[in-house]
Chains A and B, each alone.
Chain A
Amino acid sequence: MLYVVLSLFVLACLAPLLHRYTGRHSGSLLALVPATLFSFFAAQLALVSQGEVLSQRWLWFPGMDIHLSFLLDGLSLLFALLITGIGTFILLYANRYLEGHPALGRFFLFLLTFMGAMLGLVLADNLITLFVFWELTTVSSFMLIGFNHENAESRQKAHQGLMVTVIGGLALMTGFIMLGFAAGSYELSDILQQDLTGHALYLPMLVLILLGAFTKSAQTPFHFWLPNAMAAPTPVSAYLHSATMVKAGIYLLARLQPTLGDSAAWMLTLSAIGAITMLTGIFLASRATGIKKVLAYSTVMALGTLTMLLGLGTEKAALAAVTFLLAHALYKGALFMIAGILDHEAGIKDFQHASGLRHKMPKTCAVAVIAALSLAGVIPLFGFVAKELLLEAVLSGSHWQIALIIATVLANIFVVLVAALLAIKPWFGEEIATPKKAHDPGIAMLSGPMVLASLSLVLGLFPFIADKWLLQAAASAVYGNQITDYLALWHGVNLPLLLSLTSLCFGLLLYSQWPRWRQFTSGVDRLSAFGPEALYTKMMAGLVIFAGWQTKVLQNGYLRNYLLTTIATMLLLVGWAMLRLEHFNITFDLHDVKIQEATVFLILLVTILSAVLVKSFLAAVALLGALGFAVALIYVFFSAIDVGITQVLVETITVLLLVLVLYRLPEFRKLSSNMNRARDAVIAISSGILITLLVLLVTNARDMEGISSFFIANSVPEGYGRNIVNVILVDFRALDTLGEIFVLALVAIGIYAMVHLRTGSKPVTNADKRLASELKRMNTTQGDKK
């Protein structure tokens, strides 16, 4: 399966090249690959429908339990078939839809990457691998939504989709790590064997994972990005909405239900958020007039419904969820492609400008009507089967029955309205002129919707085909156990059927009053100023302002402010850690001080104090020299002869250098205010005290043997030298010394460059002078004219 996923990425990289050489047939050629993959997956149906789970694993980061492992069960197979199957038609369709677009090659690159990422996501067995693919879908969908990148609005929408899903992705990653930690494994096949609802980390991990799934699947209040994602070319919308992207969140929820689903928190959150999303989506759909917009909001409705079903947690709900998913993919894919056809062949984007197209576009009309009937859930289409199951599942649910059934029926009424809009409005009634000369598109564009719509019909008439081959296995994977329910077209006259009929009637009634309904609810538009999208915009603006403010405060350009911040932070952190110490063991021990040491100490104190206070630069340099030599004396007193010698040498050169170079610099000036001086003095003195305490503390706290004994023992046998310090420098740590030499060489080069290469003050050439005088002359003549 690794090769299956990889093949799409490889193909994606080759797509632009292929497009260059094959021109207008590139899309059809590329479509062969997903078609092949589709047949590969279809060939697995026989095994998987028996309840087999295929898995493969390649080691990736074995030490971290991260593998390229893949798993194919009913649920993955359902998604894989949708992704490759619909993907094939999308490629064919896009090839015609975007024909002649200059960046078509790039488009195929993005689309195939997206397809590969999505396929990897649904097949991945490892949480981290899954997450990698998850983020890949986010990134590639960003590219797709912002495909028309010359359009500012398109860019902004792509950005919005990216931000919302990336924030969710971040939460998801944390949730995954918790999940892997709690389960002791990152492999889904291990995790799914466990029930983690009792684990201490259950709630935080649930919240984080749900956040990831909800943002991806556009659940309220994150639903706003999905309709905006229609900035993408229509084939992309069709693909995003029907089989991929937004379904990734649903896939994740369905996938993890056996492990995380058996708790009140899961059930109540999912059914509540799902129901709210369902109602929000369909309500907004009923108010929109743009065809794509209506479809997009109805996708939000479908996603809400799926989430709600997953929240019910029963066997019936699992079956209903996968059935609804399949039905939705079939009709939504078809409808979106038809919306694209209307735009492409007739120039129509809005219901209000379309009427009576059935004569000019008879085939498209027929397909649209079938797909819309499936959306409405009219017998004998597959949408009907799904809707019956949905109602049954909600009716037999364990909690909030009444509220959920009311919500579902209400949503269904509006779904019927939306379906009627799609099935009737553009096609029937009086014929009006269209911006373009309307006609049926060619087979390349129509094949997708035709196949998907006829599948809706076939599976509706013979639901057992889907049931036996695929949905049983898929629902079992969601439910966690083998399910015994089955699909049927006709369940007899029962409550779900009655509810279904009721919603059909009310929906049609509403359709006849549609303009009035829109007017009636026009107040809602004003509410959108307080909606989640407005909040999002404000948040982003706030983020930019905050970032600007923070940069201005922290990166203020004053060296000493950076220093001040660093030192103050160190003071606080180290001081705090010191205060919390249990054994504050400091001894003041002065009895072993020799007279010469005390003298040097006093000399040093005086030089330090005067170096700080003197007003003359030359005096300060002299004092520094004295200080350096006194320090050398300390080294000599305490057995560091080599260090002492080096210090004397270096100190001599330093004083020479300072005198040579710095006598050209200005004398000391008093620049800071007294206030600042006092502040700096306080900070400096507290740091000094802190360091003193630290030294005393550390010298009393040596409880481990140093590593010097190794050097002492091995200096002669290994390094053949008797001066251990030398042996360390040129033998044991010779590489460090080499590094030191490099540093000095670099310094020398740098100094040479600064002294000799004066790029700052270029000598003025004659040409420059001429140019300047020319400019001056022109300015004066212009001034004269005025």
Chain B
Amino acid sequence: MTTLMAILIGCLYAASIYMMLRRSMVKLLIGLILLSNAANLLIFTVAGLERGVPPLIAQGAETITGPTADPLAQALILTAIVIAFGVLAFAVVLLHRAYEVIKTDDMNEMKGTD
């Protein structure tokens, strides 16, 4: 399954990079969403894939013996998902505002500093 995941992540990265390189700012936004998904899956896969053993400790037990999914990677991804949403929300509003002010969605016309 790792092989399939690796291919999937590669496709996500390729798609996100392609979208971010476009001149339309809406496409840039879509690229951003794809990128955060790709990064999360990358962390998830690299930490190791385990089926059906969530990192939960049974009632009465002190700890988990035997294999379990990596809880640290999951904690990281949880944080990352929320932060990515924050960034996305900000970017959406920023682009929307920029479009209102300069009346264009072409990134080529957004190269001034002021």
**A contacts, CB < 8 Å to B:** 556-560, 563-564, 567, 587-590, 592-594, 597-598, 601, 604-605, 608-609, 611-612, 617, 620, 624, 627-628, 631, 634-635, 637-643, 646-647, 650, 653-654, 657-658, 661-662, 664-666, 668-669, 671-672, 680-681, 683-685, 687-693, 695-696, 698-699, 702, 706-708, 711-713, 715-717, 722-725, 728-729, 733, 736-737, 740, 743-744, 747, 750-751, 754-755, 760-761
Contact between A640 and B74, CB atoms less than 8 A apart? yes
Tell me which of B21, B28, B92 has the highest count of chain A C-beta atoms within 10 A of its own C-beta. Answer: B21
Inter-chain contact count A-B, CB under 8 Å? 272
Residue of B3, B28, B52, B72 near A706 (CB, 8 A) is: B72
Contact between A646 and B81, CB atoms less than 8 A apart? yes
Contact between A747 and B90, CB atoms less than 8 A apart? yes
Contact between A657 and B89, CB atoms less than 8 A apart? yes
Residue of A587, A631, A661 near B92 (CB, 8 A) is: A661
Sample of 12 A–B contacts (CB below 8 Å): A605-B8, A627-B34, A643-B77, A646-B78, A671-B22, A685-B18, A688-B11, A695-B10, A715-B57, A715-B63, A725-B71, A750-B90
B3 neighbours in A (Cβ, 8 Å): 587-590, 696
B111 neighbours in A (Cβ, 8 Å): 556-558
Alpha-carbon distance A437/B11, docked complex (angstroms): 89
B34 neighbours in A (Cβ, 8 Å): 608, 611, 624, 627
Minimum C-beta distance from A220 to chain B (A):
46
Contact between B11 and A608, CB atoms less than 8 A apart? yes
Contact between B9 and A642, CB atoms less than 8 A apart? no
Alpha-carbon distance A286/B21, docked complex (angstroms): 67
Contact between A590 and B4, CB atoms less than 8 A apart? yes
Contact between B50 and A639, CB atoms less than 8 A apart? yes
Contacts beyond the supplied A684-B14, A747-B89: 7 A-B pairs with Cβ under 8 Å? A559-B110, A589-B3, A627-B34, A631-B40, A646-B82, A692-B10, A712-B55
| Chain B residue with the shortest CB-CB distance to A558 | B111
A665 neighbours in B (Cβ, 8 Å): 26, 95-96, 99, 105
Contact between B75 and A650, CB atoms less than 8 A apart? no
Contact between A729 and B79, CB atoms less than 8 A apart? yes
| Chain A residue with the shortest CB-CB distance to B17 | A684
Minimum C-beta distance from B28 to chain A (A):
8
Minimum C-beta distance from B71 to chain A (A):
4
| Chain A residue with the shortest CB-CB distance to B7 | A692
- B1-50 residues with Cβ-Cβ distance < 8 A to A are 1-15, 17-24, 26-30, 33-34, 37-38, 40-42, 44-50
Alpha-carbon distance A761/B101, docked complex (angstroms): 8
Residue of B23, B45, B73, B84 near A695 (CB, 8 A) is: B45
Contact between A658 and B97, CB atoms less than 8 A apart? no
Contact between A639 and B17, CB atoms less than 8 A apart? no
Contact between B87 and A747, CB atoms less than 8 A apart? yes
Residue of B17, B29, B107 near A558 (CB, 8 A) is: B107
Alpha-carbon distance A770/B64, docked complex (angstroms): 78
Residue of B17, B70, B75 near A567 (CB, 8 A) is: B17
B108 neighbours in A (Cβ, 8 Å): 558, 671
| Chain B residue with the shortest CB-CB distance to A741 | B82
Minimum C-beta distance from B111 to chain A (A):
3
Contact between B10 and A691, CB atoms less than 8 A apart? yes
A643 neighbours in B (Cβ, 8 Å): 44, 74, 77-78, 81
Alpha-carbon distance A444/B15, docked complex (angstroms): 81
* CB contact under 8 A between A680 and B21, given known A646-B82, A707-B72: yes
Contact between B52 and A671, CB atoms less than 8 A apart? no
Minimum C-beta distance from A551 to chain B (A):
13
B26 neighbours in A (Cβ, 8 Å): 617, 662, 665-666, 668
Residue of A628, A638, A711 near B37 (CB, 8 A) is: A628
Alpha-carbon distance A281/B65, docked complex (angstroms): 85
Alpha-carbon distance A624/B85, docked complex (angstroms): 13
Contact between B20 and A560, CB atoms less than 8 A apart? yes
Alpha-carbon distance A712/B56, docked complex (angstroms): 9
Contact between B23 and A671, CB atoms less than 8 A apart? yes
Contact between B70 and A691, CB atoms less than 8 A apart? no
Alpha-carbon distance A772/B93, docked complex (angstroms): 33
Alpha-carbon distance A587/B17, docked complex (angstroms): 26
Residue of B21, B33, B82 near A740 (CB, 8 A) is: B82
Contact between A631 and B37, CB atoms less than 8 A apart? yes
B8 neighbours in A (Cβ, 8 Å): 601, 604-605
Q: Which 8 A-B pairs have the closest CB atoms?
A: A688-B14, A557-B111, A692-B10, A639-B69, A684-B18, A671-B23, A724-B71, A688-B10
Alpha-carbon distance A698/B75, docked complex (angstroms): 20
Contact between B6 and A729, CB atoms less than 8 A apart? no
A688 neighbours in B (Cβ, 8 Å): 10-15, 17
Contact between A729 and B75, CB atoms less than 8 A apart? yes
Residue of B2, B18, B51, B68 near A681 (CB, 8 A) is: B18
Contact between A598 and B4, CB atoms less than 8 A apart? yes
Alpha-carbon distance A698/B45, docked complex (angstroms): 10
A601 neighbours in B (Cβ, 8 Å): 4, 8
A716 neighbours in B (Cβ, 8 Å): 57, 61-63
| Chain A residue with the shortest CB-CB distance to B70 | A708
B6 neighbours in A (Cβ, 8 Å): 691-693, 695-696, 699
